[in-house]
Chain A
Amino acid sequence: MIVCPTCSKENQDHYKFCLGCGSDLPRPGGDDKPLATTTPPAGVAAVSNMPVPAPAPDPAPVAPQPTAETAVAEPPSAPEPAAVPAPEPAAVPAPEPAAAPAPAAESEGTQCASCGAMISPGFAFCGACGATVAGVSPTSGPVGAFGKDSAKLVLIQPDGTEGGTVEIPTSEVAVGRDAGGFFGSDAYLSPRHAVFKSDGKNVNVKDEGSLNGVFVKIMPNESREIGSGDIFRIGQELILFEAIDRGSASADGTEKMGSPVEGLWGRLSLIVGKGRLGNAFPAGGDGVILGRERGNIIFPEDGYVSGIHLRIHADGDKYFITDLGSSNGSFQKINGEATVSGGDFLLMGAQLFRIDF
């Protein structure tokens, strides 16, 4: 029996809406398995050891939708908005490898005028809040590869916490199983999977012919253009999109017969093995909706797909995919190379990463 959080009425386990008041019922045991819960958008203090007071966590990590999804999408472990805890122990990761060079002198540091954090000697800016330290000129540290234009590739673990970090310098850095560290244990990463380069504002990712590719996450309600032959992923499903080819008559002028294609512009196929396609579904008219329970194409057995997950539609001869506020997100495979910015998420092998500046 499920107890309704609004009116406290008992409802049977398979009900989605309360019999007494009609509000959404949380499903027992959770419905969608979150691939990675999002960290609070206000961010987490990554570089400093200081116990910075954690910002109030955002109550709705995904776009609010009047479906049972919202009730479930909030992981049971997320704190309620009302109770803002003192520093969230889960959110503050282990000390990150310092981006800046180690301070040369061991003498005492100064205290930041803005936030009170301790600043090591020789630093011109406070590590916690970025305020300028009066009277100190920046020491000359190594300029170039690892410097202020570096970005970070942050591993997001399945429980939503941050794992390790990799520097992305302005020169290229290769990432893959050969890089070792947390990359070494991912069997879906190629030995040399992709190459990253930062220019201070954006990061350029180049797929080095990896077996499984590099995927960029589409933000909720964001539309991205997709071309014939492109691949995207929702939940556990890897899907190939192709535009319909009307074909041509044979040499002697005979038309090739087949099912009517009126209104059809595309075809979605599941990739079930190396060079092997599984079931295929037509896409036409106003577009098709994919989801676990609702939509033209459903995946009732994939718990990582949201009830209603993604829409694909055509506009003239261009095609677009739109994430409909899914819990785990939709990922589009990059063709060769792509440019991503701070806050973007990447899926490589079996791991999720975030780009930070």
Chain B
Amino acid sequence: MEQARYYICPSCYSPMPGGHKFCGKCGTSVEGGPSGSEAKYFGDMQAPGKAKLILIKGEGMDGISYHLNSNEHVAGRTDGPILFTEDKWLSPRHANFIYDDGKLKVRDEGSVNGVFIGLKGTTEASTGFIFLAGEQVFRIDTVESYDDDAEPDGTFFFASPRTDSSFKLVQILEGGGDGMVVHSRDNVITLGREGGDMNFPNDPYISGNHVKVEMVEGKMMLTDLDSKNGTFFKIEDEHELVHGNYIFMGRQLLRVEIT
């Protein structure tokens, strides 16, 4: 005794080769028969080529993953599916993870605070560029030339002595105001816990030497100096994501995994 090897026609019980939609003996159409389709995975997690986001730190259990199996995945305080309802620093509709031509990208959906990517090595920056280090938020601004001419009535303005700088780093405080400002000397500003041009001895998440901003041939370059917690820069509209990228938005730190 043995089991029939092939699918059986429900009318005449004749064996049907795989992939056929009509019984060869009696002509009955077989819907829902051997579809010849591929086997499905038990779980989405097994789907290759699809990405997921792992929550490293934030609202929810560490390690929780969000599977990016559709084409679009909105993240925000009220718009999901990636929801963080208690995070006041997330806009209601903050970001969108999309597949574009097979590539995974993150798009800023006009959020107030922006979407940040972990910096590897060096990236070019332009005026208005915003980045994070430790608990601090910074903006890079170019410095315009100064007007030292006398007033029309012949009076000169008395000002503090200054050195010529090409750019400055502005600390952005909670609430949006400007905090500490440091102007570049010799076209470079180093930032860290101590010993640099801008120091934050009381920030436990900043490394000794954390990040460097330098003007090289007219372009401003931001370099992470192998800091422990990393440097994050704000994306403009969209940014392509690769395996291992870290994303920071609101108070959520996520890691991209693409298998």
**A interface list, Cβ under 8 A from B:** 177, 187-191, 210-212, 236-239, 244-250, 252-261, 264, 267, 269-274, 276-282, 301-302, 349-350
Contact = CB atoms under 8 A, between A and B. Distances in A.
A255 to B, nearest CB: 4
A280 B173 CA distance: 13
B136 interface: yes
B177 A257 contact: no
Interface stretch (B51-59, B178-186, B211-219, B220-228): B178-186
B42 interface: no
Contact of A276 (B146, B172, B173, B250): B146
B155 A271 contact: no
Interface in B138-196: 146-148, 150-151, 153-162, 171-183
B154 A191 contact: yes
B89 A211 contact: no
Contacts, number: 144
A320 to B, nearest CB: 22
A274 B147 contact: yes
A236 B173 contact: no
A211 B135 CA distance: 40
Contact of B180 (A191, A274, A280): A280
A156 to B, nearest CB: 18
A247 B177 contact: yes
Contacts of B178: 267, 280
Contacts of A188: 155-158
Contacts of A239: 160
11 contacts: A188-B157, A190-B155, A237-B161, A255-B174, A256-B112, A258-B137, A261-B179, A267-B179, A276-B159, A278-B160, A279-B181
Contact of A256 (B151, B154, B176): B176
A238 B176 CA distance: 25
A95 B185 CA distance: 51
B158 A238 contact: yes
Interface residues of B, number: 41
Contact of A247 (B77, B136, B174): B174
B113 A259 contact: no
Interface string B233-259: 000000000000000001000000000
Contact of B162 (A189, A248, A278): A278
B197 to A, nearest CB: 10
B90 interface: yes
A250 B112 contact: yes
Contacts of B148: 273
Which 5 residue pairs spanning A and B have beta carbons closest together?
A247-B175, A280-B181, A272-B162, A256-B176, A258-B174
Contacts of B147: 273-274
Nearest to B150: A187
Interface string B75-111: 0010000000000111110000000000000000001
A247 B183 CA distance: 25
Given A188-B157, A258-B175, A302-B161, 6 more contacts: A236-B160, A246-B177, A259-B136, A264-B173, A274-B147, A276-B146
A260 B159 contact: no
Given A211-B151, A260-B174, A277-B181, A254 B157 contact: no
B210 to A, nearest CB: 14
Contacts of A189: 155
A255 B251 CA distance: 11
A256 B174 contact: yes
A115 to B, nearest CB: 44
A282 B179 contact: yes
A211 B112 contact: no
Contacts of B250: 257
Contacts of B111: 254
A261 B155 contact: no
A261 B160 CA distance: 27
B180 A260 contact: no
Given A177-B154, A177-B155, A254-B112, A259 B172 contact: yes
B133 to A, nearest CB: 10
Given A236-B161, A255-B89, A273 B146 contact: yes
A271 B157 CA distance: 10
A248 B175 contact: yes
A319 to B, nearest CB: 17
A187 B153 contact: no
Given A254-B112, A273-B147, A279-B182, A211 B160 contact: no
